[in-house]
Amino acid sequence: MLNLKVLPVALIVLATFGMIASADTSPKETTRLDLKGKNVQRQEVNSSLIGLTSTTVFYTLDDHRVVVAIRIDNTKGFPVSGNVFAFAKDVTAEGIAKWLNNQHSDGLFPDVPEPKTTAKLPAEACQSLKSKLLGKKTVNDTPYNHYSVEIKLSEVKVNEQFRLQEHKDTVNVYVVAK
């Protein structure tokens, strides 16, 4: 037989457990992307089959299945922009490396994984700080000025999943000499 005096206490206990259980299902903490981490692979690309181009620096964070691509334009002021590409957890480091190769070469690999999400970094989070002319270089009969450009990425929340740590780097940029 059901004891009606115990019923209100039982309902309070069940409601309390329900609130505790729902508190444990809070959103995941955002993952911090540190581009200076010891497991980060950095690749700087500024050439193509036709000659020297704008510079893109790819930072691969295999632990998180993420590639951060920072583009430094080879025009006045060296504008900087960036994207964060996140891959599914089952994508291998080899798969990401093939995708990365296709981003700056002639697309040697036909079957590469595609990013699960892509996020553009806010313009105000990407900037060039200073540049220094290092010399000249000629490629395919085209003269270029070779610059060293210091860039800065501000700490920024990329999306609900990632937060980019502040980062500074120095890159090579080639500008057609006039």
**pLDDT surpasses 70 at 169:** yes
Give the global pTM.
Answer: 0.82
CA separation for the pair 32, 164 (Å, rounded): 6
**pLDDT surpasses 50 at 19:** no
- DSSP conformation class of 97: H
DSSP string for 29-48: PPEEE-TTSTTEEEEEEEEE
DSSP string for 136-175: EEEETTEEEEEEEEEEEE--EE-SSSEEEPPEEEEEEEEE
Q: Residue 110 has what pLDDT? A: 85
**pLDDT surpasses 90 at 99:** yes
User: What phi, psi does 78 have (nearest 5°)?
Assistant: 50, 65
